[in-house]
Amino acid sequence: MRGLELKNRTTTEDIKKLRLITAVKTPYLPDGRFDLEAYDSLINMQIDNGAEGVIVGGTTGEGQLMSWDEHIMLIGHTVNCFGTEIKVIGNTGSNSTREAVLATEQGFAVGMHAALHINPYYGKTSLQGLVHHFESVLTMGPTIIYNVPSRTGQDIPPPVIKTLSQNLNMAGVKECVGNDRIKGYSEEGIVTWSGNDDQCHDARWTFGASGVISVASNLVPGLVRDLMFQGKNPSLNSKLMPLIEWLFREPNPIGLNTALAQLGVARPVFRLPYVPLPLERRVEFVNIVQKLGRENLVGDKDVRVLDDDDFTLVSRY
């Protein structure tokens, strides 16, 4: 597709400056379809608390459980309703180059401001294949590359990133390998976002990251905003650590989904293969909330411990 819609686009430079991007949760109705009312409310909470961008359908948002038409619709919906208030970054990556190409075309056509691209997980490929894959989509608009070997089974090594950085659409890297890697990129002038909430404070203030693409900010957007904008604050960072550790005891977004349900801001509906954390973890969460202060978390209902029976698990969604 060729389009004039470029006029609506954010520049790559605009994307590079973002400090707080939330990998936003996708909430569901009891039959497993999107609960757009809850979604819109979550996005508004992000805007109100200072998030500058959202990843739509990331691993946190369970893009891997969406059909592409659902996924593109959600991107288009977010742009249409909130695109003037927050940057909309569509996770249009895929381990299939074909799917990545089609989804990225469609995502930019419906107005997303940038694309997030993962390397081909599971199927994997050679380093040369990685470059071909990313170059197939980099022509289309501002792009963040996402490196998370613990999910993909394959690291994107710095030489590949450096090659890709010659493309003007390359905004930077969401890097989960750690702060040494981030430091290296900073020294090369390559923009990074920490993909690990527990490392993001140091990444930002010590290792040169532009900011964070955060899961925890779904819950405490204002505090993560402070962490990214208000200068070094090891005390706040420490205060958040119990929540962050709790969030990642099982693969994300299991913890986040459980938490948002208990905060009353999303229905307790899980698309399989995700299932809620067990009761003892759910009790722990309530304690963590009480220590952090309920007012620091999203929503205005009392936090509560849900019973097993409160949750709906859906396999045909």
Contacts with its own copies: how many residues (CB under 8 A)?
Answer: 77
51 φ/ψ angles, rounded to the nearest 5 degrees: -70, 140
230 lies in the site for its own copies, by CB under 8 A: no
Residues 32 to 61: which contact its own copies by CB under 8 A?
Answer: 32-41, 59
Residues 13 to 32: which contact its own copies by CB under 8 A?
Answer: 29, 32
Q: What is the Cα–Cα distance from 101 to 93, expressed in whole angstroms? A: 8
Q: Which is nearer to its own copies, 207 or 270 (CB)?
A: 270
Q: Which is nearer to its own copies, 40 or 310 (CB)?
A: 40
Using the Cα atoms of residue 45, residue 12, residue 152 and residue 317 in order, give the sign of their dihedral: positive
150 lies in the site for its own copies, by CB under 8 A: yes
CA 126 to chain centre: 26
Q: Which is nearer to its own copies, 7 or 295 (CB)?
A: 7
315 lies in the site for its own copies, by CB under 8 A: yes
Residues 157 to 216: which contact its own copies by CB under 8 A?
Answer: none
Helix (H) or strand (E) holding 213: strand 211-214
Q: What is the Cα–Cα distance from 129 to 222, expressed in whole angstroms? A: 40
153 lies in the site for its own copies, by CB under 8 A: yes
Length of the chain (residues): 317
Q: Which is nearer to its own copies, 36 or 292 (CB)?
A: 36
311 lies in the site for its own copies, by CB under 8 A: no
User: Which one of the spans 73-81, 207-215, 218-226, 231-239 is the region binding its own copies (CB under 8 A)?
Assistant: 73-81
Nearest partner of 173 among 216, 205, 214, 212, judged by Cα: 212
**DSSP strand pairing (192-194 vs 211-214):** parallel
The alpha carbons of the chain give a radius of gyration, in whole angstroms, of 18
> 313: which 2 tokens?
């698990």
Residues 242 to 261: which contact its own copies by CB under 8 A?
Answer: 250-251, 254
Which residues are tagged catalytic?
Answer: 146, 174
User: Which one of the spans 62-70, 200-208, 227-235, 240-248 is the region binding its own copies (CB under 8 A)?
Assistant: 62-70
Helix (H) or strand (E) holding 2: none
Residues 88 to 147: which contact its own copies by CB under 8 A?
Answer: 95-98, 101-102, 106, 109-111, 118, 120-126, 128-130, 132-133, 136
